[in-house]
Amino acid sequence: MGRGYIVQDDVEGYLSKLCEQKADPVTGLLIGQSSTQRDFVVMAIRTPQKEESAAAARNSVDKEWVTEHARQVSRMLPGGLSVVGVFIITDADAKDALTTLRQLLFAVENLISSEHLWDPADDDVTDCVTLQINPKTRKTVCRTFDIKDPKSVAKPADWKYQSGLCSSWATVSCSLNVDMLLPLPNNRTSTGNMEECLKKGLKAWAHQIECGLCLIDGKRLPEDSELTVGQRRNLRQTYTAQLLITTENKRLTDVIRQCGGSVSVTGAIHSRAYLHSNKPKARQAEKLLKRDVVSTVATRVQMMLEELLASDQESKGSCRDKQQKELFCLPHRIFCPLKVSGPLCVCDYQFSDEDLSEVPERLKEMLDIDAAEEDLDTRQEMTVEITGCDVTPEPTQEKVEAPEHKKNYIGVAMATAVALLATVASMLYLNDI
């Protein structure tokens, strides 16, 4: 018995339109939620056009580009929604197409999961879907692969369109305080060092969140219970979560160390996760929300680091005996509904110096959705105003850094991402299956 994917009916229309385009092949991502009971696909997103690509290159699949697009898209999905598969629209030979799809799928999923700061859970679904559509006959072939198994073979799966899928989702959300203080190593404090230090700190913090106690609507629900247990039917299907954490790590030795400075992340984030509302389980809600909490903070920090690297903001390391303090506003999260009705949203991050109009442009480029500024929900997080703050008695050089942005977002992100992940990326492609 293969898996069965229930797909929002809009997706059929979207894929149909892509079939009518002249380009071949057209690749893209499938977004949805997979659980042990059901699999849902709520949208399909075509891979954006690469700007300066040779004519010849347009007719082949650029694996690196598809993977990078997937990584960017993954950052724009709140908890519960993820890249569950890839599609290709081509009239090439079916077997070749399947091979290409398989390579894309593994590359995409491996890259995305390599950025996760949490450990995979036993009840995670590791099957992902590939969809092949012949543009002339419109015939669709749907197969799944188990991405945990590099030798996995294609298994047939069902692909069924259904309307109204987007309205039957429960939303769990919270606003959460982050307060991290980490020492910087006692040598040249470049952005690279700060990245390593932040990654370690984030991993430890992510573990705290993972082990934290989760209350939903003020109650501690037993593991296997459903979200709606003991409540009158919550028509709007929104739940508020609370997270209580403790420190697990006992640090009792080597308590004072030399350092080259410190980096802190303080402030709050809004986190959200969606569950399909047919008997949503409390345990899954907790898992998906915690993962969103961790990834939204990690994503913002990563984005900030990428911006710093891109705009070459190395700290002028010569005068290190005088204290140098820099403050950076992490981007804040903006939500955009997928449809006029229905709770599902995608999200984007806006830097403090960006204009709100840039967000719909990014949404169009990355997610191929048409959104107007008025549709955007900017109320979940507040932007912070940094005025000169005198925390230390010594005179400090304080500058609020406003990293510059270029219009071709994916291009910029791609360049810096490759710079930062050079080793990882090359390893992925070397291990091609």
Query: What is the closest distance, in whole angstroms, from the C-beta atom of residue 181 to another protein in the complex?
Result: 5
For another protein, the closer of residues 177 and 341 by Cβ is 177
Query: What is the closest distance, in whole angstroms, from the C-beta atom of residue 182 to another protein in the complex?
Result: 8
Strand 155-156 to 140-146 pairing? antiparallel
For another protein, the closer of residues 343 and 403 by Cβ is 403
300 makes contact with another protein (CB under 8 A): yes
Site for another protein in 21-60 (CB under 8 A): none
- Of 37, 383, 426, 431, the residue at the interface with another protein (CB under 8 A) is 383
The torsion defined by the Cα of 270, 178, 424 and 77, in degrees rounded to 10, comes to 0
Cα torsion angle, 249, 252, 258, 263, sign: positive
For another protein, the closer of residues 389 and 427 by Cβ is 389
Query: Residue 216's beta-bridge partner residues?
Result: 219, 241
Place of tokens 């050089």: 397
- Of 53, 60, 175, 234, the residue at the interface with another protein (CB under 8 A) is 175
Q: Under DSSP, is residue 85 helix (H, G, I), strand (E, B) or coil?
A: strand
Query: What is the closest distance, in whole angstroms, from the C-beta atom of residue 286 to another protein in the complex?
Result: 13
Which span sits near another protein by CB under 8 A: 21-29, 143-151, 162-170, 323-331? 323-331
Q: How far is CA 248 from CA 37, 46, 207, 256, 282, in A?
A: 34, 44, 9, 19, 24
Query: What is the closest distance, in whole angstroms, from the C-beta atom of residue 217 to another protein in the complex?
Result: 10
Query: What is the closest distance, in whole angstroms, from the C-beta atom of residue 395 to another protein in the complex?
Result: 13
For another protein, the closer of residues 283 and 300 by Cβ is 300
Query: What is the closest distance, in whole angstroms, from the C-beta atom of residue 25 to another protein in the complex?
Result: 40
174 makes contact with another protein (CB under 8 A): yes
- Of 264, 278, 426, 431, the residue at the interface with another protein (CB under 8 A) is 264
What is the token pair recorded at 169? 């989702």
- Of 95, 151, 236, 257, the residue at the interface with another protein (CB under 8 A) is 257
324 makes contact with another protein (CB under 8 A): yes
Quickly count: other Cβ atoms within 10 Å of residue 298's Cβ. Answer: 21
For another protein, the closer of residues 140 and 228 by Cβ is 228
Q: How many residues bind another protein (CB under 8 A)?
A: 75
Contact track, another protein, 197-216, x by CB under 8 A: ------------x--xx-x-
What does DSSP assign to residue 407? S
Residue type, 333: R
Query: What is the closest distance, in whole angstroms, from the C-beta atom of residue 148 to another protein in the complex?
Result: 32
- Based on its alpha-carbon atoms, the radius of gyration of the chain, rounded to whole angstroms, reads 23
390 makes contact with another protein (CB under 8 A): no
- Of 31, 84, 265, 288, the residue at the interface with another protein (CB under 8 A) is 265
The torsion defined by the Cα of 295, 28, 65 and 361, in degrees rounded to 10, comes to -70
What does DSSP assign to residue 22? S
Which span sits near another protein by CB under 8 A: 19-27, 159-167, 248-256, 360-368? 248-256
311 makes contact with another protein (CB under 8 A): no
**Terminal Cα distance for the chain, rounded:** 26
Which span sits near another protein by CB under 8 A: 94-102, 277-285, 381-389, 411-419? 381-389
- Of 255, 340, 372, 430, the residue at the interface with another protein (CB under 8 A) is 255
Whether 384 and 327 have beta carbons less than 8 Å apart is answered as no
Residues 6+ apart with CB under 8 A from 357: 373
Site for another protein in 119-158 (CB under 8 A): none
Rounded distance between C-alpha atoms, residue 134 and residue 102, angstroms: 17
- Of 56, 137, 236, 258, the residue at the interface with another protein (CB under 8 A) is 258
- Of 60, 323, 426, 431, the residue at the interface with another protein (CB under 8 A) is 323
Whether 217 and 239 have beta carbons less than 8 Å apart is answered as yes
* Residue 83, phi then psi, degrees to nearest 5: -80, 110
Rounded distance between C-alpha atoms, residue 382 and residue 167, angstroms: 28
Query: What is the closest distance, in whole angstroms, from the C-beta atom of residue 368 to another protein in the complex?
Result: 27
Residue type, 130: T
- Of 246, 341, 357, 423, the residue at the interface with another protein (CB under 8 A) is 246
- Of 261, 280, 343, 403, the residue at the interface with another protein (CB under 8 A) is 261
Rounded distance between C-alpha atoms, residue 423 and residue 419, angstroms: 9
Query: What is the closest distance, in whole angstroms, from the C-beta atom of residue 348 to another protein in the complex?
Result: 13
Rounded distance between C-alpha atoms, residue 33 and residue 41, angstroms: 7
Q: Under DSSP, is residue 174 helix (H, G, I), strand (E, B) or coil?
A: strand
